[in-house]
Amino acid sequence: MAAASPALADPHHYLATQIRWRRIEVVFWLSTLLPFVLTPDYLVLGSQIAVTALFALSLDLILGYAGIISLGHAAFFGFGAYTAGLIAKWGWGEPITGLAIAGAAAGLLGYLMSFVISRFRHLALIMITLGFGLLLLEAANSASWLTGGADGLQGVRMWPLLGAFKFDLWGVTAYWYALIVLFLLFLVARRITNSPFGLSLRGIRENAVRMRAIGAESRPHIRKIYTISAVMAGVAGAVLTQTTETVSLGVLDFQRSADILVILILGGAGRLYGGLVGAIIYLIARDQFSGINPQYWYFPIGVLLIIVVLFLPNGILGGLAQLIYSERGQRWFGWLTAPLRRERKS
Amino acid sequence: MLTTRGLDKSFGSLVVARDIAISLPQGVRYALIGPNGAGKTTLINLMTGMLRADGGQIVLGGEDITALGPEERVRRGLVRTFQINSLFPHLTPLEAVTLAICERERIARTWWKNTADYRAAVDEAYGVLKSLSLGAVCYRQTHELAYGQQRLLEIALALATKPKVLLLDEPAAGVPREESSELFTAINNLSQDITILFIEHDMELVFRLASRIIVMVGGSILLEGTPDEIAADPRVREVYLGGAHG
Ligand SMILES: Nc1ncnc2c1ncn2[C@@H]1O[C@H](COP(=O)(O)OP(=O)(O)OP(=O)(O)O)[C@@H](O)[C@H]1O
Ligand SMILES: [Mg+2]
Name the residue ranges covered by the structural domains of chain B: 2-241
Residue A243: pLDDT band with limits 50, 70, 90: very high
Calpha distance A72→A45 (Å, rounded): 24
- Which residues make Cβ contacts (< 8 Å) with residue B198, sequence separation at least 6? B29, B30, B31, B32, B167, B168, B169, B170, B171, B187, B209, B210
Mean pLDDT of B73-86: 96
Q: Does B137 touch chain A (CB under 8 A)?
A: yes
CB of B41 within 6 A of ligand 1: the answer is yes
Interface list for chain A against chain B, based on CB atoms closer than 8 Å:
2-3, 8-9, 11-12, 14-16, 18-19, 191-192, 194-200, 202-203, 206-207, 209-217, 220-221, 224, 228
Residues 6+ apart with CB under 8 A from B129: B93, B94, B97, B135, B138, B156
User: Exposed, middle or buried by CB within 10 Å (0-12, 13-18, 19+), for B170?
Assistant: buried
Are B225 and B233 spatial neighbours (Cβ–Cβ below 8 Å)?
Answer: yes
B83 lines ligand 1 (CB under 6 A): yes
pLDDT at A66 > cutoff 60: yes
**b or e along B203-215 (b: 16 or more beta carbons within 10 Å of the residue's beta carbon)?**
bebbeebbebbbb
Nearest by CB to residue B94, choosing from A11, A16, A194, is: A11
Q: Do B74 and A221 touch (CB under 8 A)?
A: no
Banded pLDDT at A62 (limits 50, 70, 90): very high
* C-beta of B32 in contact with ligand 1 (< 6 A): no
- The CA distance from A325 to A330, in Å, is 6
- Tell me what pLDDT residue A343 has: 44
Q: What's the confidence (pLDDT) of residue A55? A: 98
Q: What is the pLDDT of residue A115?
A: 96
pLDDT at B174: 87
Q: How high is the pLDDT of residue A151?
A: 85
pLDDT score for A342 = 57
Asked whether A75 and A253 are in contact (CB, 8 A), the reply is no
Rounded Cα distance between B131 and B123, Å, is 12
Position B33 scores a pLDDT of: 94
Flag if B115 and A200 touch (Cβ within 8 Å): no
pLDDT score at A43: 92
Q: For ligand 1, atom 1, which residue shows the shortest CA distance?
A: B11
Distance of CA A92 to the CA centre of its chain: 27
Q: Position A72: which residue type?
A: G
Residue A344 has pLDDT above 60, yes or no: no
pLDDT tens profile B152-202: 999 999 999 999 999 999 999 888 888 888 888 889 888 899 999 999 998
Q: Is the predicted pLDDT of residue A39 greater than 50, yes or no?
A: yes
A73-111 residue pLDDT tens: 999 999 999 999 999 999 888 999 999 999 999 999 999
B220 lines ligand 1 (CB under 6 A): no
User: A205 CA to middle of ligand 1, Å?
Assistant: 27
More confident position, A289 or A173: A173
* Test site for ligand 1: of B8, B11, B202, most ligand atoms within 8 A of the Cβ: B11
Residues of chain A above pLDDT 70, percent: 95
Of A282, A327, A286, A288, which is closest to residue A308 (Cα–Cα)? Answer: A282
B36 lines ligand 1 (CB under 6 A): yes
Contact B25, B145 (CB under 8 A): no
pLDDT tens-digit series, residues A257-279: 999 999 999 999 999 999 999 99
Phi/psi at A339 (5° precision): -65, 155
Instruction: Report yes or no: B136 at the A interface, CB cutoff 8 Å.
Output: yes
Asked whether the CA dihedral A180, A184, A190, A193 is positive or negative, the reply is: negative
Mutation site, A61, A211, A214, interface B, largest B CB count within 10 A = A214
Chain A contact for B68 (CB, 8 A cutoff): no
CB A178, CB A276: distance < 8 Å: no
pLDDT band at B244 (very low <50, low <70, confident <90, very high): very low
Cα B41 to ligand 2 centre (Å): 4
**Rounded to an integer, what distance in angstroms lies between the CA atom of residue A92 and that of residue A89?**
7
Atom of ligand 1 nearest to the CA of B43: 18
Q: Sheet of B2-11: strands edge to edge?
A: B14-24, B2-11, B55-60, B63-64
Q: Are B54 and B18 in contact (CB under 8 A)?
A: no
Q: What is the pLDDT of residue B204?
A: 87
> Residues B23-52: what's their mean pLDDT?
94
pLDDT score for A8: 55
Q: Rounded to whole angstroms, what are the CA distances from A195 to A16, A97, A212, A284, B73?
A: 12, 28, 20, 33, 26
Report, at the CATH architecture level, how domain B2-241 is classified: 3-Layer(aba) Sandwich (3.40)
Query: Has residue B245 got a pLDDT over 70?
Result: no
Which residue's alpha carbon is nearest to atom 24 within ligand 1? B36
Count how many pairs of residues, chain A against chain B, have C-beta atoms within 8 Å: 144
Residue A4 has pLDDT above 60, yes or no: no
Distance between CA atoms of residues A239 and B12, nearest Å:
56
A103-142 pLDDT, tens digit per residue, is 999 999 999 999 999 999 889 999 999 999 999 999 999 9
Question: What pLDDT, on a 0 to 100 scale, did the predictor assign at position A229?
Answer: 98
**Mean per-residue pLDDT, B220-227:** 92
Euclidean distance between CA atoms A53 and A74, whole angstroms:
13
Closest C-alpha among A232, A291, A198 to residue A100:
A232
ipTM: 0.91
| Closest CA relative to residue B129, chosen from B95, B81, B172, B102 | B95
A157 has pLDDT over 90? no
Q: For residue A215, which residues of chain B lie inside 8 Å, CB to CB? A: 71, 74-75, 79, 100, 103-104, 161
Residues β-bridged to residue B2? B24, B60
Contact: B114, A12; criterion CB under 8 Å: no
State the pLDDT at residue B182.
83
Beta carbon of B39 within 6 Å of any ligand 1 atom = yes
Which pLDDT band holds residue B211 (cuts at 50, 70, 90)?
very high
pLDDT at A168: 82
Q: Which residue of A has its CA nearest to B97?
A: A214
Confidence category of residue A159, pLDDT binned at 50, 70, 90 = confident
A-contacting residues in B 21-50 (Cβ below 8 Å): 48, 50
Rounded mean pLDDT, A280-308: 83
Q: Strand, helix or coil at B169?
A: strand
DSSP letter for B30, please: E
Is A214 within 8 Å of B158 when comparing Cβ atoms?
Answer: yes
Question: Smallest Cα–Cα separation from A26: which of A343, A338, A342?
Answer: A338
pLDDT reported for residue A345: 41
Residue A18: closest C-alpha in chain B? B116
Domain ranges of chain A: 37-253
pLDDT for the residue numbered A301: 81
What values do phi and psi take at A203, rounded to 5?
A: -60, -40
Output phi, psi for B112, to 5 deg: -100, 0
- Mean of per-residue pLDDT scores for chain B: 92
d(CA A68, CA A61): 9
Nearest to B58 by CA among B76, B69, B46, B50: B46
CA of A81 to the centre of ligand 1 (A): 53
